[in-house]
Amino acid sequence: MEPHIYREGALVGWIEVICGSMFSGKTEELIRRLKRAQIARQRVEIFKPAIDQRFSEAEVVSHDENAIPSTPVDTASQILLLAGDADVIGIDEAQFFDLDLVNVVQRLARDGKRVLLAGLDQDYQGRPFEPIPQLMAVAEYVTKLHAICVVCGAPANHSQRLVANDDRVLLGAKDAYEPRCRRHFSPTPVPTSAPIAKPARQATPAAPTPTVSDAIS
């Protein structure tokens, strides 16, 4: 359930953080909450980092292709300028902003706005991915989601990089990452292994050709 906080009949602002590994449903959950706010006829503004153009330049899109219109911004401070009189602020891929985002969302919450953020809490090496840890610390509500480990099926909270690249920020989807549990995660990029070849189907042995001696016997 989404939180509802009231004080003397007036809506009080707060911060909600949705975090986890890739493919854990963070953006899907963010979109769900924002659409519910729209159904409730609340004024909603949605933002995403301009560098994230994997699926769309002007929409927040989940891996399940669920989408909602958004405004791309280059810096967190632009969100303050564009938030206007919105009641609810949504921010996707929050890990791509710098630490100034913490101050921005704190100010929005103090102004009485509900702020929802989604982002990776760990980078491809399993290290805390700023500013998500700092946002989790100041948020009233934190939801941590898990994917499914592609190796063993256990809950996955790591994003395994599949391409040889040491950049901390590397945009990609299933071509570059897959979810892994703690046991099967490696902080070193692991190229996708070649598919295991299935054994060739053996032909049914042919019946032996009858010989003359067989016919006589």
Determine the average pLDDT of the residues in 37-52. Answer: 93
Determine the average pLDDT of the residues in 179-198. Answer: 76
Whether 93 is catalytic: yes
pLDDT band at 215 (very low <50, low <70, confident <90, very high): very low
What span, in angstroms and rounded, lies between the C-alpha atoms of 105 and 115? 7
Determine the average pLDDT of the residues in 9-32. Answer: 90
Is residue 26 scored above 90 in pLDDT? yes
| Residue 66 falls inside a structural domain | yes
| Residue 159 falls inside a structural domain | no
More confident call, 217 vs 49: 49
pLDDT at 165: 86
Is residue 64 scored above 60 in pLDDT? no
Please tell me the least confidently modeled range out of 29-33, 185-189, 190-194. Answer: 190-194
Q: What one-letter code names the amino acid at 112?
A: G
Reduced to 3 states, what is the DSSP secondary structure of residue 107? helix
| Residue 25 falls inside a structural domain | yes
The answer to whether the pTM exceeds 0.85 is no
| Residue 193 falls inside a structural domain | no
More confident call, 107 vs 62: 107
| Residue 37 falls inside a structural domain | yes
Residue 72 belongs to a domain with what CATH number?
Answer: 3.40.50.300
| Residue 118 falls inside a structural domain | yes
| Residue 140 falls inside a structural domain | yes
Is residue 208 scored above 80 in pLDDT? no
Query: Parallel, antiparallel, or unpaired: how do β-strands 10-11 and 6-7 relate?
Result: antiparallel
- Domain holding 18, by residue range, is 6-146
Catalytic residue among 28, 93, 130, 140: 93
Count of domains forming the chain: 1
| Residue 154 falls inside a structural domain | no
DSSP state of 53: -
- The predicted-structure confidence for 95-148, as pLDDT tens digits, reads as follows 999 999 999 999 999 999 999 999 999 999 999 999 999 999 999 999 999 999
pLDDT at 161: 95
Q: Which is nearest to 22 in space by CA: 173, 165, 131?
A: 173
3-state helix, strand, coil in the chain (%, to 5): 20, 25, 55
Is residue 185 scored above 90 in pLDDT? yes
